[in-house]
Amino acid sequence: MFALSASLLVKEYAVYAKHSGIPEIKTVLGGFIIRRFLGLWTLITKSLGLVLAVASGMWLGKEGPLVHVACCCANLFIKLFPSINNNEARKREVLSAAAASGISVAFGSPIGGVLFSLEQLSYYFPDKTMWQSFVCAMTAAMVLEAFDPFRSGKLVMYQVTYSSVWHGFELVPFVLLGLLGGVYGGLFIKANMWVARWRKSATWLPGPVIQVVAVAILTALLNYPNNYMRAQCSDLVSNLFSECSKLTDDQFGLCKTGAASAGTIILLIFAAVLGFFLAAITFGLQIPAGIILPSMAIGALVGRAIGIIMEIWQHNHPNFIAFRSCEPDVPCITPGTYAIIGAAAALGGVTRMTVSIVVIMFELTGALTYVLPIMVAVMISKWVGDAFSRRGIYESWIHFNEYPYLDNSEEIPIPDIPASQIMTRIEDLVVLTATGHTIASLTAVMEQHPYRGFPVVSDPRDAILLGYISRAELAYILHASTQPPRLLPPETEAFFAHQPLADPRTTLDLRQWMDQTPLTLPRGSRLHLAVSYFQKLGLRYVMFVDRGVLQGLLTKKDVWYVLNGAEETRRTAGRGEPMGGGVARGGGDGEREGLLGVGRGEEEVEVVSPIGDGGSNLL
Amino acid sequence: MFALSASLLVKEYAVYAKHSGIPEIKTVLGGFIIRRFLGLWTLITKSLGLVLAVASGMWLGKEGPLVHVACCCANLFIKLFPSINNNEARKREVLSAAAASGISVAFGSPIGGVLFSLEQLSYYFPDKTMWQSFVCAMTAAMVLEAFDPFRSGKLVMYQVTYSSVWHGFELVPFVLLGLLGGVYGGLFIKANMWVARWRKSATWLPGPVIQVVAVAILTALLNYPNNYMRAQCSDLVSNLFSECSKLTDDQFGLCKTGAASAGTIILLIFAAVLGFFLAAITFGLQIPAGIILPSMAIGALVGRAIGIIMEIWQHNHPNFIAFRSCEPDVPCITPGTYAIIGAAAALGGVTRMTVSIVVIMFELTGALTYVLPIMVAVMISKWVGDAFSRRGIYESWIHFNEYPYLDNSEEIPIPDIPASQIMTRIEDLVVLTATGHTIASLTAVMEQHPYRGFPVVSDPRDAILLGYISRAELAYILHASTQPPRLLPPETEAFFAHQPLADPRTTLDLRQWMDQTPLTLPRGSRLHLAVSYFQKLGLRYVMFVDRGVLQGLLTKKDVWYVLNGAEETRRTAGRGEPMGGGVARGGGDGEREGLLGVGRGEEEVEVVSPIGDGGSNLL
């Protein structure tokens, strides 16, 4: 076991193979690029590392990492199709669909996968993507069923068929489970983030590999004495969900009756507390590790415990007013259902998903008659969890890692200020004038300034906005025109405006390389509106004009800095951010993405490198 | 029965109570307003009419109309909350959630309801709406369960528990069912639309009430001899879905064996053909009528027939190579599952939904192990259906009724032309200059031109865009300033620009009533981009500028006319369109909707009347 954990050293070769990968996928689908995150090396190390990590018996899940693996595969596969690979919008659609298939195979839950991708991961999810994800998740599930890796012949992993329906009074414990799930989610996020911060600040800690080994040893020592913890997470969950009368061998002693069941309750609660503790220190280590299954297990442990308590209570006081609706001589309480509801509530508290959890739970278990209690518990769990903190676990990690993810939900408070307060003013921008350049002078401007593009104005005094040229297009055309067949000398005149006297053979007309219809907002626009532009139109920058005169430029990253508070800006400065092309704030750091698919169409060039190989694909 | 149908005369009192209402709800959620469509009278007549229509035994469903009823209730209820009622965006969120609860109670399918609202109805569906719909659908299902109208004690309406799993070879008939479902959907839409067109063009036809009675009599005559058709649609579906070994009384003779079953097959197919014919003439009559349940019934009839054929085949040739995987002495084929898959495929063909159908089907039946075959069938059915026509039944009715619905899917071909080609040029616009007005002259402009708003420019020669004032705001302030306390005379000077010499007590400064930061696009922008603005930012108009100079104005309706072809424009001109405030094309017909919730915030005035009461709510 330790040996396996130790072999996670491989991971050192691809640092993005660690963790669940879901926060990063969210960031990527939100329109930013993380180099090498979806590359071949990440795929290989993550796949191997995941197998080893799960086999090590540590308290982690395989679901999140499988989503990452699916996205890596998709990203490598679409490199074969340049028409998709060069279109950021379509690439993201493919990644959304791949994520759906990841969950589809992880839980055997095709519809749940589509909804997970929709609810948790995706930033833009048009109808078309829904349909693509549907086909993708279905195919994945069909292939899984054909391979039948668990030799069970069915897709439903933890199938249960309960012989009873639920009673009205059971809503009280179900609501309690929802509450507990929310409290668990809130506390877990706080604890996990506290561990992560502590780990980052405690410089005396040994390296990540030693940490992994230490946690693995600790896990082994703590788990061995406890019957429940010794098992694999998924076995445990499967047993917790099952009904006693259907269980052939009671491996975990869950179905003891009488006095012995008191011990079972204590063991279950103890296992849940231990699981909470282990999951909090494991999630965030440098290994592939998901949080979905551990959360479900913890919820199921607590749920089962409450179920057994209810069962004993009902058994001892069958005449209590609430239990009147029970039929005599038939088991009234099914502790397995409490486990399912507890698992759903815990998952809801941690991830803050709603519809997807319900669908995943009933695709996992087939407990269709319990759909209403599950919905109630998930709803309450989300309410309670949101009271602790509005961020789910994945959003918390995005925040912790300071990924520039612009939350799409309408719940972030956007300060009601004019966007012009935070834009980069024209005085601080590097703008190009329409005329008076040579190839050499433009090359010099590009070498001097790292910005991703430059606004073009009529002349410096009267800065009428003419267009915007991206660094990539400018670099390409300047380079191309000094090569055969044109072979223009560096002192060639270059301009962005109509020059009737210029000889097209000896001068360089850059107008066709410039975006002549850049999107603009009026100067007085509020920040709300600018944020809508970024979120809904998928832009990366917008320029502000007043009656045609350029006033300034605002990038998506600027907005992200503002919305995420100024104190973090300072902290970020010192760290090597894994963002592609992370250039200085305030410059023309942006490129209109392919998302709109509008405007200049085929001419549009994606500057940012395709994820993974670091090359930049010009025209 | 006839008497009941005839009493549908009541319906004459609220014409929007007819039909399923789903095309209209889609249009409303897409940002247009249909007066009285969600009013109190519609609610009353639709509810009563629906009860009568279902009781009449005609071949129609109650699901679509229930969605409409739910939306009416929501619309009336939110009138109590002015903060929601005056915000179009929030109003639509509430309507989306109400639609989810409508499906939730119609099928006992809360998750299916949320997805139906997401996939079929809603134009904008942010995460927040998902969550709201979830809570709403859950509450609705809880209340339904508490009332327990069917006295079955469960929410799952057609619960089935199949004792067998499916075999690989069964995929072939499942794919066939998908094909048939798609063909059914494609043909049904064509037939239904043909009937609708014929009914509109055949002027010699009697009035709508006589038509309803005639169809009701025809239905009765045709249905009575056929055992299957005589039953209520929902009873029929329930029986078709069930497994023979679980059925206590075989009311429909579905479980006959041997030679008798050949007769059953013929009767089933005959009933399906008859049902197709009846549904095609019934859907579109002036009664509340849905298409979901009839489609499911037709699909289930065909599915059951194919299931019985497979059963006989397997029974007679147990050694055929495909049937090797069957265990001996156990029924290998379950015809009920074929009925479920057939129903899902037919529904997919007609409505072109995907995920929601799968979820509704398994919330209806609990046939979880059959989720993959259902997905395969729905997928193929959608493919085949799309090959017939890209429009589902609801989109076809939207198209037929010429509602100005701008399809959000990316599949409509947008001509690659500059938006300036179809915009209303400044020469044809009624624009206001910044100065030189009096209250009387502005009132005269408003009386003379019906447009919904007016762009404001610096002066006629050098038309620098200063802002946009909506008709409502202008009317309000002109009216208010001639009343106490200001009591300005009609000859008072009014202006839209800073006038340093003007006395604020004796002149009217209209700047604060004007949108000073109207959204603009550069003149050369392509139509694609303008459509994105309308679809993604929820605008109703956008202005085009070139270096600050106003060039023209484009409204959402203009775009709709262009995308839906010119010949329809002509046809429309003669008909009384039920759109609120449908003014002449080309004017400033539009108002920035509350959707963005940006810009001028509280000052924003909704010009269009709140649905239902016809009043216009000014500040």
**Pairing relation of β-strands A541-546 and A549-555?**
antiparallel
Residues on chain A touching B156 (C-beta within 8 angstroms): 368-369
Q: Are B232 and B92 within one domain? A: no
Q: Tokens for A601?
A: 């169409």
Report yes or no: A465 and A545 within 8 Å, Cβ to Cβ. Answer: yes
Mean of the per-residue pLDDT values of chain A: 76
**Does the residue A410 lie in any domain?**
no
In sequence order, which residues have a C-beta less than 8 Å from that of residue A258 and are 6 or more positions away? none
**Does the residue A615 lie in any domain?**
no
Query: Residue A187 pLDDT > 90, yes or no?
Result: yes
In tens, the pLDDT along A201-246 reads 877 777 777 777 788 888 878 777 776 777 777 777 777 887 776 6
Query: Residue A337 pLDDT > 90, yes or no?
Result: no
Report yes or no: B30 and B406 within 8 Å, Cβ to Cβ. Answer: yes
Q: Can you give the residue range of the structural domain that contains B341? A: 168-399
Q: Are B14 and B139 within one domain? A: yes
- Structure letter (DSSP) for residue B126: -
Q: Tokens for A246?
A: 């259907």
The minimal CB distance from B375 to the residues A110, A115, A522 is found for A110
- Mean pLDDT throughout A509-524? 80
Q: Tokens for A180?
A: 């507990």
Q: Are B436 and B580 within one domain? A: yes
Q: At what angle do helices B335-351 and B393-401 cross, to 10 degrees?
A: 30
The minimal CB distance from B363 to the residues A371, A411, A599 is found for A371
**Does the residue A154 lie in any domain?**
no
pLDDT of residue B248: 61
- Structure letter (DSSP) for residue B163: S
Q: Tokens for B200?
A: 């509109």
Q: Which is more confidently placed, A159 or A384?
A: A384
**B368–A366: do the CB atoms touch at under 8 Å?**
yes
Q: How far is CA B567 from CA B211, B563, B572, in A?
A: 30, 11, 9
Q: Are A143 and A176 within one domain? A: no
Instruction: Give A41→chain B minimum CA distance, Å.
Output: 33
- The residue ranges of DSSP E strands in A144-206, in sequence order, are none
**Does the residue B157 lie in any domain?**
no
Residues on chain B touching A522 (C-beta within 8 angstroms): 516-520
pLDDT of residue B191: 92
Q: Are A87 and A190 within one domain? A: no
Distance from C-alpha of B457 to C-alpha of A288, rounded to nearest angstrom: 61
pLDDT of residue A252: 65
Report yes or no: A544 and A525 within 8 Å, Cβ to Cβ. Answer: yes
**Does the residue A340 lie in any domain?**
yes
In what helix (H) or strand (E) does residue A263 lie, and over which residues does it extend? Answer: helix A260-282
Of A370, A400, A430, which residue is a domain's last? Answer: A400
**Does the residue A190 lie in any domain?**
yes
Of A118, A147, A176, which residue is a domain's last? Answer: A147
Return the top range by mean pLDDT from B130-144, B174-188, B204-218, B306-320.
B174-188
Q: Are B120 and B18 within one domain? A: yes
pLDDT of residue A609: 27
Residues on chain A touching B372 (C-beta within 8 angstroms): 110, 138, 141-142, 145, 155
Instruction: Give B372→chain A minimum CA distance, Å.
Output: 7
Distance from C-alpha of A225 to C-alpha of A309, rounded to nearest angstrom: 24
Residues on chain A touching B519 (C-beta within 8 angstroms): 521-522, 529
The pTM score is: 0.75
In tens, the pLDDT along A279-315 reads 888 887 777 888 888 899 899 989 988 988 888 888 7
**B526–A465: do the CB atoms touch at under 8 Å?**
no
- Structure letter (DSSP) for residue B424: E
From B242, B261, B192, select the one nearest B343 (Cα to Cα): B242
In tens, the pLDDT along A15-27 reads 666 777 888 888 8
Query: Residue A592 pLDDT > 80, yes or no?
Result: no
Q: How far is CA A391 from CA A21, A189, A400, in A?
A: 17, 9, 11
Alpha-carbon torsion angle A32, A35, A37, A40, nearest 10: 140
Q: Tokens for B439?
A: 């209250």
Distance from C-alpha of A347 to C-alpha of A107, rounded to nearest angstrom: 14
Residues on chain B touching A536 (C-beta within 8 angstroms): 536-537
Instruction: Give A548→chain B minimum CA distance, Å.
Output: 4
Instruction: Give A163→chain B minimum CA distance, Å.
Output: 11
Q: The domain that contains B519 carries what CATH number?
A: 3.10.580.10
Q: Are B120 and B187 within one domain? A: no
The minimal CB distance from B366 to the residues A111, A368, A416 is found for A368
From A586, A569, A300, A579, select the one nearest A422 (Cα to Cα): A586
Count structural domains, chain A: 3
| ipTM score for this prediction | 0.72
**A126–B410: do the CB atoms touch at under 8 Å?**
yes
Mean of the per-residue pLDDT values of chain B: 76
Alpha-carbon torsion angle A187, A188, A190, A195, nearest 10: 140
Report yes or no: A22 and A59 within 8 Å, Cβ to Cβ. Answer: no
Distance from C-alpha of A240 to C-alpha of A302, rounded to nearest angstrom: 10
- Mean pLDDT throughout A347-362? 88
Instruction: Give B599→chain A minimum CA distance, Å.
Output: 6
Report yes or no: A456 and A466 within 8 Å, Cβ to Cβ. Answer: yes
Nearest CA in chain A to B531: A598
SS3 per-residue string spanning B374-428: HHHHHHHHHHHHHHHCCCCHHHHHHHHHCCCCCCCCCCCCCCCCEHHHCCEEHHH
Instruction: Give A53→chain B minimum CA distance, Å.
Output: 31
What is the sign of the dihedral through the CA atoms of B16, B19, B25 and B31? negative
Residue entry with tokens 């979806």: A38
Q: The domain that contains A364 carries what CATH number?
A: 1.10.3080.10
- Structure letter (DSSP) for residue A32: -
Q: Are A424 and A566 within one domain? A: yes
- Structure letter (DSSP) for residue A545: E
In tens, the pLDDT along A35-58 reads 777 888 778 878 877 877 777 777
Q: Name the residue type at position A336.
A: G
Buried b (16+ CB within 10 A) or exposed e, A52-79: bbbebbbbbbbbbbbbbbbbbbbbbebe
Query: Residue B606 pLDDT > 60, yes or no?
Result: no
Report yes or no: A76 and A13 within 8 Å, Cβ to Cβ. Answer: no
Nearest CA in chain A to B162: A161
Report yes or no: A69 and A30 within 8 Å, Cβ to Cβ. Answer: no
Q: How far is CA B223 from CA A331, B195, B275, B283, in A?
A: 47, 20, 9, 17
Residues on chain B touching A518 (C-beta within 8 angstroms): 522
Query: Residue A430 pLDDT > 70, yes or no?
Result: yes
Query: Residue A176 pLDDT > 60, yes or no?
Result: yes
For A542, phi then psi, to 5°, come to -145, 145
CB atoms within 10 A of CB A314: 19
Q: How far is CA B115 from CA A590, B118, B211, in A?
A: 35, 5, 35
The minimal CB distance from A128 to the residues B382, B409, B546 is found for B409
Residues on chain A touching B536 (C-beta within 8 angstroms): 536-537
Task: State the pLDDT confidence band at B583, using cuts at 50, 70 and 90.
Answer: very low
**Does the residue B108 lie in any domain?**
yes
What is the sign of the dihedral through the CA atoms of A286, A292, A295 and A301? negative
Q: Are B450 and B590 within one domain? A: yes
In tens, the pLDDT along B147-192 reads 776 666 566 666 666 666 777 788 888 999 999 999 999 999 999 9
> What is the rounded end-to-end Cα distance, in angstroms, of chain B?
51
**B532–A362: do the CB atoms touch at under 8 Å?**
no
Instruction: Give B5→chain A minimum CA distance, Å.
Output: 37
What is the sign of the dihedral through the CA atoms of B424, B427, B429 and B433? positive
- Concatenated DSSP letters for A191-248? HHHHHHHHHHH-TTS--HHHHHHHHHHHHHHHHTTSHHHHS-HHHHHHHHHS-GGG-S
Residue B542: beta bridge partners?
B554
Task: State the pLDDT confidence band at B203, using cuts at 50, 70 and 90.
Answer: confident
Task: State the pLDDT confidence band at A350, using cuts at 50, 70 and 90.
Answer: very high
A583 alpha-carbon distance from chain centroid: 23
Q: Are B311 and B429 within one domain? A: no
What share of chain A has pLDDT > 90, as a percent? 7
Distance from C-alpha of A471 to C-alpha of A466, rounded to nearest angstrom: 16
**Does the residue B465 lie in any domain?**
yes
Q: Are B440 and B357 within one domain? A: no
In what helix (H) or strand (E) does residue A473 lie, and over which residues does it extend? Answer: helix A471-482
**A596–B528: do the CB atoms touch at under 8 Å?**
yes
B97 alpha-carbon distance from chain centroid: 14
Residues on chain B touching A110 (C-beta within 8 angstroms): 371-372, 375
Task: State the pLDDT confidence band at B260, using cuts at 50, 70 and 90.
Answer: low
Distance from C-alpha of A338 to C-alpha of A306, rounded to nearest angstrom: 7
pLDDT of residue B11: 52
**A410–B369: do the CB atoms touch at under 8 Å?**
no
| Summary count for chain B: helices (H), strands (E) | 23, 10
- Mean pLDDT throughout B531-550? 78
Least confident piece of the model among A225-229, A390-394, B99-103: A225-229
Q: Are A334 and A375 within one domain? A: yes
